[in-house]
């Protein structure tokens, strides 16, 4: 399956080069003065002087109340200090099991959900603390594609009106211009003029998702959130939509935040991958390096569960997480400590939260015993 993923080595120079008019070390902000990008923390790339997106210390607690005594009892922390950055034109895949915080991370980045703490620096604007007007202006440069196209499209609107809507909201006042750009976007995703006056229920699931893609890119955004964009589609249709997204990435220099549970899709479509568990980053690095040289036990667990179409691998053992009582992710140490195939029973893992550390170039892991974790692959894969 061809997804149009670029060679990270071949495009590294392009990604780290500021666009025309940008000042190294600051984020370009078309609606106001640029401000310095915060210094990089562990897991971020200091050499990336002009990231499109830099997230630091991102936390989200549901039921939280800010005050002198912290969160109220019963608050549920979902994100516990997420750090990552995304270069221009790059695709960052976010993987992990259900409930790990993938979708919440994406929703906080585009400010569909307000973070509890942290910064979300998007081209010089901190979306975590920005006022409503600043958020509206920033959303001119954001697009979104969600898992279920049927529920994300207004059933009362025509396909043309759905695709025109972002242009209307973001100030394209000329109806003829909106219609022209919507027609171009629909044609680009393979839906000609005969689809323009139809309603969403008259289209197949794959066609509905193409409409969602057209709506996301019609305003030429810089960053597009893809939240499980193909998981609800048939396998053959998945490949078509992924190929389309890859082509649009090349044509429009779009940056993707790609949330996905299918690791095979994540590997083929992403430039870098971030692994989440219990609301924390377990590992982050280049896709090929992370898949071939995983450094965290949880990454090994995920990879060992991926089906391999090779008869010779039929006897391989899966790496399993241990059973743990209560909310193991809420411990003072590593959130995986009680279930980890390497750290279970170790006091350091249970009491000391591991910091992200670089184990290979641009490859970071939050594990006290990453060297032992590497041996898991030799024994089980």
Does residue 338 sit in the same domain as residue 269? no
Q: Note whether 269 and 93 are within 8 A (CB).
A: yes
Does residue 248 sit in the same domain as residue 368? no
Does residue 193 sit in the same domain as residue 299? no
Q: What is the predicted pLDDT for the residue at 64?
A: 60
Does residue 161 sit in the same domain as residue 262? yes
- Residue 42 forms part of a structural domain: no
Does residue 27 sit in the same domain as residue 64? yes
Q: What is the predicted pLDDT for the residue at 377?
A: 61
- Residue 46 forms part of a structural domain: no
Does residue 144 sit in the same domain as residue 206? yes
Does residue 206 sit in the same domain as residue 342? no
Q: What is the predicted pLDDT for the residue at 10?
A: 43
Q: Print the domain residue range for 360.
A: 293-308+315-380
- Residue 288 forms part of a structural domain: no
- Residue 356 forms part of a structural domain: yes
Q: What is the predicted pLDDT for the residue at 12?
A: 42
Kindly give the parts of the chain with pLDDT less than 70: 1-40, 64-74, 308-317, 320, 322-331, 377-381
Does residue 268 sit in the same domain as residue 337? no
> In terms of C-beta density within 10 A (0-12 exposed, 13-18 middle, 19 or more buried), how is residue 81 classed?
middle
CATH assignment at residue 191: 3.40.50.300
Does residue 212 sit in the same domain as residue 83? yes
- Residue 110 forms part of a structural domain: yes
Query: What whole-number distance in Å separates Cα of residue 330 and Cα of residue 325?
Result: 12
The domain tally of the chain equals 2
- Residue 134 forms part of a structural domain: yes
Does residue 215 sit in the same domain as residue 342? no
Nearest partner of 120 among 133, 138, 103, 102, judged by Cα: 138
- Residue 281 forms part of a structural domain: no
Does residue 268 sit in the same domain as residue 321? no
Q: What is the predicted pLDDT for the residue at 325?
A: 56
Q: Note whether 105 and 276 are within 8 A (CB).
A: yes
- Residue 45 forms part of a structural domain: no
Whole-model pTM?
Answer: 0.84
Coil, helix or strand at residue 313: helix
Q: What is the predicted pLDDT for the residue at 168?
A: 92
Nearest partner of 75 among 85, 62, 66, 56, judged by Cα: 62
Coil, helix or strand at residue 371: helix
Does residue 240 sit in the same domain as residue 324? no
């Amino acid at each position: 399956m061809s997804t149009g993923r670029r060679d990270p080595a071949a495009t590294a120079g392009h990604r780290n080069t500021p666009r025309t008019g940008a000042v190294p070390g600051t984020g370009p902000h078309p609606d106001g003065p640029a401000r310095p990008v915060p210094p990089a923390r562990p897991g971020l790339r200091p050499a990336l002087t002009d990231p499109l997106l830099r997230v630091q210390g991102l936390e989200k607690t549901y039921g939280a109340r800010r005050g002198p005594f912290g969160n109220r009892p019963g608050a549920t922390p979902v994100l516990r200090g997420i750090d990552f950055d995304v270069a221009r034109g790059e695709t960052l895949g976010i993987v992990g099991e259900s409930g790990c915080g993938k979708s919440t991370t994406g929703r906080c980045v585009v400010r569909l959900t307000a973070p509890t703490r942290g910064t979300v620096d998007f081209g010089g604007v901190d979306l975590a603390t920005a006022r409503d007007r600043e958020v509206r202006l920033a959303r001119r440069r954001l697009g979104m594609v969600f898992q279920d196209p049927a529920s994300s499209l207004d059933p009362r609107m025509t396909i043309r009106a759905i695709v025109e809507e972002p242009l209307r909201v973001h100030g394209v006042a000329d109806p003829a211009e909106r219609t022209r750009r919507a027609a171009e976007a629909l044609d680009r995703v393979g839906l000609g003029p005969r689809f323009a006056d139809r309603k969403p229920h008259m289209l197949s699931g794959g066609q509905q998702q193409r409409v969602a893609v057209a709506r996301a890119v019609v305003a030429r955004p810089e960053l597009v959130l893809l939240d499980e964009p193909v998981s609800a589609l048939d396998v053959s249709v998945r490949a078509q939509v992924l190929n389309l997204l890859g082509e649009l990435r090349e044509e429009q220099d779009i940056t993707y935040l790609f949330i996905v549970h299918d690791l095979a899709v994540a590997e083929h479509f992403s430039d870098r991958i971030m692994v989440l568990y219990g609301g924390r980053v377990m590992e982050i690095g280049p896709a090929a390096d992370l898949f071939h040289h995983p450094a965290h036990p949880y990454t090994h667990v995920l990879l060992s569960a991926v089906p391999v179409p090779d008869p010779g691998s039929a006897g391989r053992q899966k790496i399993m997480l241990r059973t743990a009582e209560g909310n193991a992710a809420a411990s003072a140490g590593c959130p995986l400590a009680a279930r980890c195939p390497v750290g279970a029973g170790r006091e350091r893992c249970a009491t000391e939260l591991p910091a992200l550390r670089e184990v290979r170039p641009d490859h970071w892991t939050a594990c006290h015993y990453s060297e032992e974790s590497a041996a898991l692959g030799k024994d089980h894969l």
